[in-house]
Structure 1
Amino acid sequence: MTKKLLRALAGEAVWPPPVWLMRQAGRYLPEYRQVRAEAGSFIDLCTRPDLATEVTLQPLRRYGFDAAILFSDILMLPWALGQGLRFAEGEGPQLPPIRDAAGLAALDPARLPEAITPIIETVRRLAAQMGDTTLIGFAGSPFTVSCYMVEGRGSKEYEHVRMMAWREPELYGRIIDLVTEQTIVYLSAQIDAGAEAVMLFDSWSGVLAPSLFRAYVIEPTRRITAAIRARYPHVPVIGFPRLAGTMLGEYAAVTGVQGVGMDTSADPKRAAALVPEKVALQGNVDPLALVAGGAALEREADELLAAMRGRPFIFNLGHGIVPQTSPDHVAALVARVRAA
């Protein structure tokens, strides 16, 4: 029998729905913290196949999720292209910002295949251990990856990248094109190694005006999805345009993705009305409801399940698990979904 998550992504209203959680491998698990300490740096954790495989599998052992997602980071792509990446404790990722053509020219796509070799080896090792669990590969969407590449770090408003999109559309378009092309290469390598579905994370898409959203979120996602579908017709794509708001329906209809992630702010019933009925919705319990646990979490889970019954759906959070989450609350949530 086809795996539950793949059935949902094929347009089937599977019930109870498949369940996995964004950032299910992470700091809320004591076993993760132990491996993270052993790794030394976060980049080392992402590029040591033995450790990355172990932390990917840890939440499966605890909770029996219907999917495992490759443990890595969306910024491993610019890292692989030669943009110096480091993770400063308490400050998040930092890169030399690309603000002109010379900065863009310093990136080297020829580096990517060799640089991602350990990440692809992790995918290969995971694929051999999945059983009934679906292995999801992933990348950052071009807009969100470009946010960090241009800003050089995280930001609330991403002013530099937005001003570049308005003032220097030719330069910014070249950045987006490069990231789009290399994302196709990166995801294709993951699929060749055994990823059964892939996900595109567009964490910062909500900062864009609709015209820029169409140009730099929808269009690159459409290009990536079309390329994956042409090469691997059986491999579905999940898109997560966080804070897309009313653009969610257009995103789903135009990009060709088989699944759309709803963020915490999305109304599930409204999303179901906007998104084509055969496109699976994924989401969207508030990660802080998971921290709260108890009656609040039960109510949120039950309301989401009721809203999604009868359509293709994957139970998840509206963003990633936060470090202060109790592992017991995760177990309780999975049990409630499975009993639906």
Structure 2
Amino acid sequence: MTGNETGLPAEGRPVKPLLRVIGGEMLDPPPMWLMRQAGRYLPEYRALRAEKGGFLALVYDSAAAAEVTVQPLRRFAFDGAILFSDILIVPYAMGQDLWFEAGEGPRLAPTLDTTDLSTLKPDFSRFEAIYETVRQVRAQLEPDVTMLGFAGSPWTIATYMVAGQGSKDQGTARRLAYSDPARFGAIIDAIVDATVEYLCGQIDAGVEAVQLFDSWAGSLAPLQFEKWVIAPNAKIVAAVKARRPGTPIIGFPKGAGAKLVDYATGTGVDALGLDETVDPHWANAVLPKGLPVQGNLDPLALVSGGQGVADAVANIRAAFADRPHIFNLGHGILQDTPIDHVEALLTLVRGQ
């Protein structure tokens, strides 16, 4: 590969804007990508999903998933391509059945609130189609675009594995974590091991940086947060860095609030994603100096557009003027987001 294809010139410094910022550089304008940028707000995505007949069928058709991954890059000059897949591929590979109920979301069975982990039969070949998607996407990317992979963090994955579906308060998993921490800890440890395997496979296939999504981190009390969010993510970060040195890792503990500081210092992530509820000026003041951050425009502001977005962008840019920053949303882009609002956001961020 040439230096541009790997993101590294001969002397070893990254040339891709997103990798440069994760590495500690400040760029003006900041690099930009959007969580869930490959998805339901794009008519071309909706057409392809209808053709394939369902979400999981789309994920497991590598050519189609690669097409979905690159669709937003044809419309918008994003600096990163985020792999089109789902965080629940990990429990699927760990042996649970996975399907999606129309209008209701994902389902997993058997549920680990009543079934022992040892009864599951792991099948890591279920990762292979995802790796093939990565290979096909990398072959299509422009030299300055970073290929991003991801996985769900252990706490968030465990909430689905225990309850079999999402919930408002993650109560089933929280009860098990309190009542039988040894049993719950075994589930977390198994998720850590599977996630390290999965991320290393993505990296081998061509991913250049990965993000750990902890969508339900905000539901835990402080001591539980330390035990089930910080410690498992720290294990993943250490293991991936030992096995695949130099791969940047972005942590995104949604809803962590004031616990963000402990997460940043305790996990060893290279960059920290901030959700839309975090005051960027507070974050800049309390987070470790020089730690790259990512975020954190409210996805609903982008749906509305107009002056609210302009004010929010200006506030975020001002807060992180002296810190390495990747511009992003505070969570995934919503399906009713107008395409022209995304185009306007790019202009606002880049001053074009």
- Residue 309 (structure 1) aligns with: 321
Counterpart residue type for residue 209 of structure 1: A
Q: Does 1:99 align with 2:113?
A: yes
Distance 2:184 2:120 in 1: 14
Distance 2:172 2:244 in 1: 36
Q: Which runs of 5+ in 1 are unaligned?
A: none
Distance 2:285 2:188 in 1: 31
**Contact 1:17/1:313 (8 A) holds in 2:** yes
Counterpart residue type for residue 53 of structure 1: A
Q: Does 1:290 align with 2:302?
A: yes
Q: Does 1:158 align with 2:163?
A: no
Q: Does 1:72 align with 2:89?
A: no
Q: Does 1:90 align with 2:116?
A: no
- Residue 281 (structure 1) aligns with: 293
**Contact 1:248/1:274 (8 A) holds in 2:** no
Counterpart residue type for residue 82 of structure 1: G
Counterpart residue type for residue 48 of structure 2: V
**Offset at 1:125?**
1.0
Q: Does 1:108 align with 2:121?
A: yes
**Offset at 1:153?**
0.8
- Residue 333 (structure 2) aligns with: 321
Q: Any idea what SS the aligned residue of 1:85 has?
A: strand
Q: Does 1:6 align with 2:19?
A: yes
**Offset at 1:13?**
1.1
Counterpart residue type for residue 116 of structure 1: F
Which one of 144, 158, 181 corresponds to residue 132 of structure 1?
144
- Residue 220 (structure 1) aligns with: 232
Which one of 39, 49, 64 corresponds to residue 51 of structure 1?
64
**Offset at 1:144?**
0.2
**Contact 1:139/1:183 (8 A) holds in 2:** yes
Q: Any idea what SS the aligned residue of 1:135 has?
A: strand
- Residue 221 (structure 2) aligns with: 209
Q: Which moved more, 1:141-150 or 1:76-85?
A: 76-85
Counterpart residue type for residue 118 of structure 1: A
* Seq. identity, %: 51
Matched ranges for 1:191-270 at <5 A:
191-270=203-282
Distance 1:8 1:203 in 2: 23
Distance 1:31 1:156 in 2: 31
- Given the two structures, how large is their TM-score scaled by the length of structure 1? 0.97
Q: Any idea what SS the aligned residue of 2:237 has?
A: helix
Runs (4 or more) in structure 1 with deviation over 3 Å come to none
**Offset at 1:108?**
2.5
Q: Quick one: higher RCO (CA 8 Å, sep 6+), 1 or 2?
A: 1
Distance 1:62 1:106 in 2: 46
**Contact 1:257/1:279 (8 A) holds in 2:** no
**Offset at 1:95?**
1.3
**Offset at 1:107?**
2.0
Distance 2:337 2:49 in 1: 17
Distance 1:108 1:310 in 2: 49
**Offset at 1:103?**
3.1
Q: Which moved more, 1:57-66 or 1:270-279?
A: 270-279
Q: Any idea what SS the aligned residue of 1:93 has?
A: strand
Q: Any idea what SS the aligned residue of 2:96 has?
A: coil
**Offset at 1:338?**
1.1
- Residue 118 (structure 1) aligns with: 129
- Residue 27 (structure 1) aligns with: 40
Q: Any idea what SS the aligned residue of 2:326 has?
A: strand
Q: Any idea what SS the aligned residue of 1:156 has?
A: coil
- Given the two structures, how large is their TM-score scaled by the length of structure 2? 0.94
**Offset at 1:294?**
1.0
Distance 2:243 2:94 in 1: 23
Which one of 24, 48, 55 corresponds to residue 42 of structure 1?
55
Counterpart residue type for residue 35 of structure 2: M
Distance 1:303 1:206 in 2: 24
Which one of 304, 308, 311 corresponds to residue 299 of structure 1?
311
**Contact 1:225/1:255 (8 A) holds in 2:** yes
**Offset at 1:233?**
2.1
**Offset at 1:106?**
2.2
Q: Any idea what SS the aligned residue of 2:44 has?
A: helix
**Contact 1:52/1:71 (8 A) holds in 2:** yes
Q: C-alpha offsets along residues 204-262 of structure 1, whole Å, 9 cap, x if unaligned?
A: 00000111101110011101111111122221000000000110011001100011110
Distance 2:144 2:245 in 1: 21
